[in-house]
Chains A and B, each alone.
Chain A
Amino acid sequence: ILNVEQSPQSLHVQEGDSTNFTCSFPSSNFYALHWYRWETAKSPEALFVMTLNGDEKKKGRISATLNTKEGYSYLYIKGSQPEDSATYLCAFKPGTASKLTFGTGTRLQVTL
């Protein structure tokens, strides 16, 4: 069983704060790292799929970086808004697999 860890487990920030969280995954046999956003009572939706070491992806105020050699990815949210409140999941895909292994997520709550 692959070990995909996310930290922190939960985070509570004020509107306007910038924040970041971490996903750690095995550094060997890397193929792809996915980030999903999961709002309460909805389904997970893909944010980014990252494949190259040093890759940086951006969507609006959300960005992510990838370090495959050391096995981690950071997700950043600039100027958090209440609508950013969700659980953020990362998922690791090794080269040999047809499936993803998900972390347990970071639950973000943004208050006014």
Chain B
Amino acid sequence: NAGVTQTPKFRVLKTGQSMTLLCAQDMNHEYMYWYRQDPGMGLRLIHYSVGEGTTAKGEVPDGYNVSRLKKQNFLLGLESAAPSQTSVYFCASSYSTGSSYEQYFGPGTRLTVT
């Protein structure tokens, strides 16, 4: 099993450009999450999904959109990138949110917006 994978690993965008980050998991997990990690801020939830076709906003959703058309994939879109979106983005998945189900994280995508 590959676990949780993220594409791409690195990206540099100019302000105003758009891009999509892909997260894929092969563990048949229902729940998927997108986080951003900034120095001193820990992991902050952007959007999440509790199943195929469903998405919900997290703590910092502005400037991002998501889609979960297939159970194994969760896409994060930036329609018009801003320097404030320079960050490391982590995707995670979990089987359920029941008591013993931890989240499994992807390797991260480092995004720089100039």
Do B42 and A51 have beta carbons less than 8 Å apart?
Answer: no
B58 at the A interface (CB under 8 A):
yes
Q: A98-B31, A102-B42 are in contact. Are A51 and B48 (CB under 8 A)?
A: no
Interface residues contributed by chain A, number (CB under 8 Å): 24
Q: How many of chain B's residues touch chain A, expressed as a range?
A: 20 to 34
B22 at the A interface (CB under 8 A):
no
Do A98 and B101 have beta carbons less than 8 Å apart?
Answer: no
CA distance A54 to B97 in the complex (A): 21
B43 at the A interface (CB under 8 A):
yes
- Give A91-102 as 1s and 0s: 1 = Cβ < 8 Å from B's Cβ atoms: 101000111111
- Residues of A near any B CB (own CB < 8 A): 1, 31-32, 34, 36, 42-46, 49, 51, 89, 91, 93, 97-105
Known: A34-B102, A89-B43, A101-B59. 18 other contacts (CB 8 A): A1-B59, A32-B99, A32-B100, A36-B102, A42-B107, A43-B105, A44-B103, A46-B102, A46-B103, A49-B100, A49-B102, A89-B42, A98-B56, A99-B48, A100-B45, A100-B103, A102-B43, A102-B44
